[in-house]
Amino acid sequence: MPEDYRLAWMFYIAGTIVLLLAGWWFMRKWRWGWLRRTLLLVSAASLLVPVHSGVEDAPISPVLPLFAYQTVFEEGGATPEVTANLIFAAGGALALMTIWGLIGLYVGHRREKRREFEEDPYFSER
């Protein structure tokens, strides 16, 4: 990758991290923390996953800006490779957060049932 693109990627990643941190800062008081984490992870995945544009010898680009560019400015719309990468990046992040949320719900339910069992006078032998 040429030095120009390496520098551009560094600025893009730094700007994206600042944007995600600002999103986290403004959403930090939300009651539903899982929704905040899901939105930020899906945004990060769709903004930071690199993809080739389909043009030979073209540098890699972030998938969401490339998808938006191809959709708006190219005659045929977004290429199938770029669309698939965007779907898999956002879908993978959403699947990861879904699994994390289900595990969190299961562990919280088990913790609450254990607390109820320990507080139940019929089962305590003290």
Report whether pLDDT(110) > 90: yes
Which pairs with CB-CB distance under 8 Å and at least 24 residues apart come from 99-103? 100/34, 100/37, 101/34, 101/38
Report whether pLDDT(14) > 80: yes
Task: Check residue 106 and give its pLDDT.
Answer: 93
Compute the C-alpha angle 66/68/69, nearest 5°: 65
